[in-house]
């Protein structure tokens, strides 16, 4: 079973998590026999946070409650509050995740937080355009590993720009292996193009409800 920890903080960018959390939590397009996924919100305190969209989220657990294993996943969303020192604990935990083979997925402002701690200095990654990380993370030294794409997967590190939420979700789902390969490709085609025929093609890739 995968345990997916979603770090929540004030001004969390709601839209950046939508594709990946909805699919991992619902399991509606999972392949037959896929590992189960549990989602837990985690934060620096038990105080509710307010998202950029004005929604209130009460964390399920604290950083110290997190279990780190190869089936652990940490999602770090964008926010305008990443510079608050209280979030350094989750970035240190992200370093522990990466070093033990657990998966870290960061998007938008969260990539700057990783960069500030040197976690992007030696691995392929992306962010909100070339020059962004230098501007917001003065200690960043990973320029030669920067890839100018909406989302970049490097084994157990998956990073994305603020416009890369859909591709980010696809790469996370692919890394976890919970969709069939054909389902994942058509799912991505449908949500990236909006073509109705891709929706019906997606339905046809799913296991029959009559299968045992």
Total Cβ atoms within 10 A of residue 81: 14
Instruction: Indicate the SS3 state at residue 70.
Output: coil
Total Cβ atoms within 10 A of residue 10: 16
CA–CA dist 149, 164 (Å, integer): 8
Among the listed residues 44, 79, 91, 108, the single catalytic one is: 108
Beta bridge partners of 74: 5, 104
Q: Residue 201 in contact with residue 183, Cβ under 8 Å?
A: no
Q: Tell me if residue 105 is catalytic.
A: no
Total Cβ atoms within 10 A of residue 141: 14
Q: Residue 187 in contact with residue 203, Cβ under 8 Å?
A: no
Among 166, 167, 150, 168, CA closest to 158: 168
Catalytic residues: 108
């Amino acid at each position: 079973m995968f345990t997916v920890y979603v770090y929540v903080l004030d001004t969390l960018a709601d839209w950046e998590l939508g594709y990946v959390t909805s699919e991992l939590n619902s399991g509606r397009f999972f392949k037959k026999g896929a590992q189960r996924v549990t989602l837990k919100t985690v934060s620096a305190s038990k105080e509710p946070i307010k998202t950029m969209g004005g929604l209130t989220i009460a964390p399920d657990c604290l950083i110290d409650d997190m279990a780190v294993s190869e089936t652990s996943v940490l999602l770090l969303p964008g926010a305008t509050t990443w510079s608050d020192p209280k979030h350094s604990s989750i970035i240190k935990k992200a370093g522990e995740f990466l070093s033990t083979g657990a998966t870290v997925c960061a998007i938008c402002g969260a990539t700057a937080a990783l960069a500030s701690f040197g976690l992007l200095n030696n691995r392929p990654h992306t962010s909100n355009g070339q020059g962004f990380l230098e501007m917001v993370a003065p200690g960043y030294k990973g320029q030669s590993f920067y890839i100018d794409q909406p989302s970049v997967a490097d084994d157990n590190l998956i990073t994305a720009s603020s416009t890369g939420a859909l591709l980010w979700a696809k790469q996370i789902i692919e890394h976890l292996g919970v969709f069939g390969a054909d389902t994942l490709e058509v799912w991505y085609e449908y949500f990236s193009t909006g073509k109705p025929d891709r929706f019906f093609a997606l339905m046809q890739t799913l296991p029959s409800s009559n299968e045992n």
